[in-house]
Amino acid sequence: MSNAQYGPGKNGVANTGTEKVQKEPKFNGDLSRDYFAETPNQVLEYTINCPMWFVLDNFNSTKPSTKIIEEGDQNTRVHEFIAVGMVRATELGCTEVITEVEWSETKIRHKCRTVAPFVGLPNFMIHGYAADNTIEDIGNGKTRLINRAFQHDRMCMLGSLCCCCLCFAKIGNKILSGDIPAMEKKWAKMLKDGTVKAGEKSALGQQQM
């Protein structure tokens, strides 16, 4: 479960706020391109039958398997793995820096982009990416998740017949989509087992219904 020491209104973090990195570090990929300015080629929009804190703990880069390389600005640390300037290594083998965080007690939005070269299968097919993620409590134990990203894929070698480069962003989107039914199934089991209870206080300090 989410580390209860982090969240809006905790450990010097304001209840609401918006902060950006003062100087963005260089990152892998084509440095002449602003990935945030590109039209997203990976888009997820879901209403999820889990509370906000649980979605944060079970989606993509904020899963417990993520490793922190640099902790970033602690005054913006609204989740164990979200703070302005934080550098994190994800379960999928990607290294990201968080460039912006906007938060309140019912919504956390953060932007991140890659900062290290990709190696190994299948990530060598990616130059880099930037993502804009919003997770919002919409009441009644439900959460709205919006994840928009631009992934810059490498072209296949000349003469290659695999054509993976033409669909790799879609493959990545499908992998991320798989987190949704998995977390709903996990939450339903926890409710059934009595591990959690509907209506209890979450790690973000919200009353979950």
d(CA 87, CA 25): 10
What pLDDT does 179 receive? Answer: 93
Confidence check: pLDDT of 67 > 90: yes
**Residue 121 confidence (pLDDT) above 80:** no
Q: Is 76 helix (H, G, I), strand (E, B) or coil?
A: helix
- Confidence (pTM): 0.84
Give the three-class secondary structure for 123: helix
pLDDT for residue 77:
98
Rounded Cα gap, residues 127 and 153, in angstroms: 6
Neighbours of 152 (CB within 10 A): 18
Q: Which range is most confident: 18-27, 96-105, 174-183? A: 96-105
Cα(58)–Cα(37) distance, integer angstroms: 27
Give residue 207's pLDDT: 40
User: Where is average pLDDT lowest: 30-44, 126-140, 176-190?
Assistant: 30-44
What fold, for 17-193?
Alpha-D-Glucose-1,6-Bisphosphate; Chain A, domain 4 (3.30.530)
Q: Domain ranges in the chain?
A: 17-193
pLDDT digits (tens, 9 = 90+) for 124-172: 567 789 999 999 999 999 999 999 999 887 665 444 445 555 555 566 6
